[in-house]
Structures are given as structure tokens and as C-alpha cells.
Amino acid sequence: MERSEFIRGFAEIDYYNQSKIIVDDVAFSWIGSVFFVELGSKIIFDQNIFLSVIPQILSLVIGLLLAQTISASLAARFTGNYE
């Protein structure tokens, strides 16, 4: 094998996508779950703070539900030909 053939063959390997697949596999299979379990074990809920933010939580949830409903209805009307 000549040097130019070796270099040409070496350059065709897609190291970025191979690395991305490995990192995604590790992150989504075992490191991600360990991270979130560890994080969840250290979260402390203060009842006073939780109760004080209920109005903000409700307003955000209602706003999100309205926005999603309006978005879905507009998408159905204009792209799905529903009347």
C-alpha cells in the first residue's frame, strides 16, 4: 500500500460522527440516568417557597396550554386543510 492510498483511506473515516454516536450512547444510557438520580436526591423542596410560586406556575401552565392549542389549531387549519 502506497503512502497516498493510506492517507486517502485514513481521511475517509468520519471520526466526528463515530465520536458523537459513542458520546450520545454513553450519555443517554448510563451516565445520564446516574446524573439525574444524583441530582434528584439532592433537591430540597421548601414548602413555603413552593406555595408562594403556585400563581406563577398556574399562569405559565395555562399560557402554555393556550399557546399549544392555538398553535395546533392554526397548523391544522392552514397546513392540514381542516376547516
Q: Spell out the per-residue pLDDT of the chain, length 83, in tens.
A: 455 555 555 556 778 888 888 888 877 777 777 777 887 788 788 899 989 999 999 999 999 999 999 999 988 888 877 66
Q: Which residues contact 40 (CB under 8 A, 6 or more apart)?
A: none
* Secondary structure (3-state) at 8: helix
- Amino acid at position 81, single letter: N
Q: Which residues contact 77 (CB under 8 A, 6 or more apart)?
A: 83
Q: Look up the pTM and report it.
A: 0.47
pLDDT at 11: 56
Burial status of residue 59 (CB atoms within 10 A of its CB: 0-12, 13-18, 19 or more): exposed
pLDDT at 83: 62
pLDDT at 61: 97
pLDDT at 9: 54
